[in-house]
Amino acid sequence: MQIYLASDHAGFAFKNHIKEFLLGKGYDVEDCGPFVFDKDDDYPDFVSKAAEAVSKDPKNAVGILCANTGQAEAILANKYKNVRCALFYAPAIAVGTVDVTGRKSTDPLEIINLARDHNDANMLSLSGKFMEISIAEQAVERFLKTPFSNAERHVRRIEKIKKLELGMKNKE
């Protein structure tokens, strides 16, 4: 699996930490920038490189985006065909909610599992402003180790997304 990293200037140090974390675990990592801190840089210059790479090889490549909020980076990444970028702010357990099976969630990183298991997300945008680096490491590891379920209903829904992507491209 090839992992593409990118950030905004606010996520520069965050990205570099995640890069070292992943390299230390033996992952194949390509840094799409930025490569130096510049408070005036523009995240689309770097996030677009990571998203384009994942778009070209959505089965074997994933992307990790590190930013202040992660919102704009996820929005940009999701403009690319074959990219499904999930946004993660911080660990959370929805108050008073119970899933369709009646099970109450107790896993504060469960949304990461669902992004992979249900949506086959291939990019993860992280908000460094709302989490500690140890949580970011856990989130990245969970993202990389959780497989897509291949459940028929999830495959069907992703296929519908792909058809919509083509329709939208044809309208441009």
Find the catalytic residue in 118, 137, 154, 165: 118
Task: Report the pLDDT value the prediction gives residue 167, as an integer from 0 to 100.
Answer: 57
Domains and CATH numbers, the chain: 2-171 (3.40.1400.10)
Establish whether 73 is a catalytic residue.
yes
Task: Report the pLDDT value the prediction gives residue 170, as an integer from 0 to 100.
Answer: 52
Query: Residue 36 and residue 39: Cα distance in Å, rounded?
Result: 10
pTM of the prediction?
0.90
Task: Report the pLDDT value the prediction gives residue 3, as an integer from 0 to 100.
Answer: 98
Establish whether 9 is a catalytic residue.
no
From 11, 170, 151, 22, select the one nearest 88 (Cα to Cα): 11
- In the chain, which stretches have pLDDT less than 50? none
From 20, 57, 61, select the one nearest 144 (Cα to Cα): 61
Answer for the pair 73, 47: CB distance below 8 angstroms, yes or no: yes
Amino acid at the residue 48: S
